[in-house]
């Protein structure tokens, strides 16, 4: 397994539309393992393949939520290959989102709070489930990456420009 470099905005690859996975091969499963290692190391709760430069419709999620309040985070790795949203609730929820490709920046984004999604898992088996809460938010955020969309695209131009300016400043300070 390997920690892969994560692309950051404004890398043009992040704007690319990812293509469907044709077949779940051992190579793809290695990529999945590397994506988990990369996500845990970052650390983050979701990562799309395009964020490590691979334009395939594949993403991984692990909310790493503790069993009980104040408890140790528990790893529950989820793999989504060729995910599709088949139904969304009318009710929206606001969540303060961040992204490994827009490091250290957060903003409130409104999304449907419940979705029904269909995807292939790590073994290529078909799954369909209704998801809610943070998992629903996270899946929608990661699925945006497959279309070349970042969470900052959901913000007003003013807010987006503010974040990009802050990011540029933080990079200059770090350089």
Shortest approach of Zn ion to residue 48 CB, angstroms? 7
* Residue 111 CA: distances (Å) to CA of 37, 63, 107, 143: 28, 18, 13, 12
Q: Which of 72, 104, 142, 147 is catalytic?
A: 142
Shortest approach of Zn ion to residue 97 CB, angstroms? 8
Q: Is 10 helix (H, G, I), strand (E, B) or coil?
A: coil
CB 81 within 8 A of CB 73: no
**Would you call 91 exposed, middle or buried from its count of C-beta atoms within 10 A (0-12, 13-18, 19+)?**
exposed
Q: Indicate if 142 belongs to the active site.
A: yes
Identified binder of Zn ion from the candidate list 32, 58, 60, 99, rule CB under 5 A:
99
Phi/psi-derived region of residue 11, left when phi > 0, alpha when psi is between -120 and 50, beta in every other case? beta
Tell me, residue by residue from 23 to 62, as one string, x for binding to Zn ion by CB under 5 A and - for no binding.
----------------------------------------
Specify the stretch interacting with Zn ion by CB under 5 A; choose among 18-26, 78-86, 91-99, 159-167.
Answer: 91-99
CB-nearer residue toward Zn ion: 31 or 52: 52
CB-nearer residue toward Zn ion: 99 or 163: 99
Shortest approach of Zn ion to residue 144 CB, angstroms? 7
- 124-148 exposure pattern, b = at least 16 Cβ within 10 A, e = fewer: eeeeeeebeeebbbbbbbbbbbbeb
Shortest approach of Zn ion to residue 63 CB, angstroms? 14
Total chain residues near Zn ion (CB under 5 A): 1
Phi and psi torsions of 54, nearest 5°:
-110, 110
Active centre residues (catalytic): 142
Site of interaction with Zn ion (CB under 5 A): 99
């Amino acid at each position: 397994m390997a920690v892969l470099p994560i692309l950051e905005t404004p890398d043009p690859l992040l704007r690319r539309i990812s293509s469907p996975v044709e077949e779940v091969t051992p190579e793809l499963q290695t990529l999945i393992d590397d994506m988990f290692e990369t996500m845990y190391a970052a650390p983050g709760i979701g990562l799309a393949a395009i964020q490590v430069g691979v334009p395939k419709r594949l993403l991984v999620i692990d909310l790493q939520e503790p069993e009980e309040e104040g408890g140790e985070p528990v790893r529950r790795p989820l793999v989504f290959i060729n995910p599709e949203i088949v139904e969304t609730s009318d009710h929206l929820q606001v969540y303060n989102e961040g992204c490994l490709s827009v490091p250290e920046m957060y903003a409130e984004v409104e999304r449907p709070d419940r979705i029904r999604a269909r995807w292939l898992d790590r073994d290529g088996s078909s799954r369909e489930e209704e998801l809610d809460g943070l998992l629903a938010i996270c899946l929608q955020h990661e699925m945006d990456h497959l279309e070349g969309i970042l969470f900052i695209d959901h913000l007003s131009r003013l807010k987006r420009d503010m974040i990009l300016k802050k990011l540029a400043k933080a990079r200059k300070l770090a350089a």
